Amino acid sequence: MKRRAALFIPPLLAAAFLGACCPEAGLPAPPAAIAAAPRHFTFEVVHAYPHDPKAFTQGLLWHNGFLYESTGLNGQSSLRKVALETGEVIQKRKVDNQYFAEGLALSGDRLIQLTWQSQHAFVCDLSSLEPQRDFDYLGEGWGLTTDGGRFIMSDGTAKLRFMNLSTFAPEGSVTVTDQGRPVVRLNELEHVDGTVYANVWRTDRIAQIDPATGAVIAWIDLTGLLGAADRGDASPDVLNGIAWDAEKKRLFVTGKNWPKLYEIRLVERTATP
């Protein structure tokens, strides 16, 4: 006997359809939107600037005409104020040898500098770079930025954690995904026009993230940014370091021990790789 053809709808899917009916039309609501495929960008170099090849860049931001940089490694960690055009380190505070400094964000006249595994952060005066106080937090510290209303922090996983600007108390988190797949090893961060840019550790890619949903909106591929001519005799590590000049709409990127820091312009690819 021939089996009667039957339309099999998995129970969960059926529930999603049946439970979400539109009362007015009596029709099922469309299934939840599948995350849109991210856009893909490459880059053009607008300008290349000198960068201290001894700077193991872990945090970078732009404020009032200067770069502020947090550098890592135990015994070499520092907080710096840097001149863009020359790469000159105008001010530098050494971080205690026991700490491996990480992400950096500015809130008012305070620079907040994370450490990697010590679960300890420094709140530093913007003018003197000296710590005014410090505090502890849970988990590893990787990248840090702020949207002006809260801190946004990465910890090497696919999570972005939100923290209170005054108390650093946790205020939730979001998992970063590319069409549903978690994107791990999020590192240095920068808040850019309502989105979050995140270096993905050990790649040449930056994810542009919608902080409300965690969805990757776009990928920025910086493969080849530090060319052989710019590399010179240096032994550069991975891409890390994003700063945004909101006033002049300039995007700066560099890497750990890179001898150059670049202003780049994004160029959209017409076909995905």
Q: In Å, how far from its chain's centre is CA 11?
A: 39
Least distance (Å) from Ca ion to the CB of residue 66? Answer: 14
With CA atoms as reference, report the closest residue to 215 among 254, 270, 175: 175
How many binding residues for Ca ion (CB under 5 A)? 4
Least distance (Å) from Ca ion to the CB of residue 243? Answer: 5
d(CA 58, CA 69): 7
Regarding 186 and contact with Ca ion (CB under 5 A), the answer is no
Among the listed ranges 80-88, 119-127, 237-245, 251-259, the one in contact with Ca ion (CB under 5 A) is 237-245
Least distance (Å) from Ca ion to the CB of residue 5? Answer: 57
Regarding 190 and contact with Ca ion (CB under 5 A), the answer is yes
With beta carbons less than 8 A apart as the criterion, state whether 231 and 211 touch: no
Among the listed ranges 17-25, 53-61, 67-75, 107-115, the one in contact with Ca ion (CB under 5 A) is 53-61
Closer CB to Ca ion, 25 or 114, in the complex: 114
Among the listed ranges 4-12, 16-24, 57-65, 153-161, the one in contact with Ca ion (CB under 5 A) is 57-65
At 231, is the secondary structure helix, strand, or coil? Answer: helix
With CA atoms as reference, report the closest residue to 92 among 67, 114, 109: 67
Binding test (CB under 5 A) with Ca ion, winner from 60, 67, 114, 206: 60
Closer CB to Ca ion, 55 or 60, in the complex: 60
Site string for Ca ion, 153-172 (x = CB under 5 A): --------------------
Q: In Å, how far from its chain's centre is CA 175?
A: 13
| Long-range contacts of 118-127, Cβ-Cβ distance < 8 Å, separation of 24 or more | 121/168, 122/79, 122/95, 124/79, 124/93, 126/63
Among the listed ranges 14-22, 61-69, 214-222, 259-267, the one in contact with Ca ion (CB under 5 A) is 61-69
Rounded to the nearest 5°, which phi and psi values hold at 80? -130, 150
With CA atoms as reference, report the closest residue to 176 among 205, 138, 148: 205
Regarding 102 and contact with Ca ion (CB under 5 A), the answer is no
Residue numbers of the site for Ca ion (CB under 5 A)?
A: 60-61, 190, 242
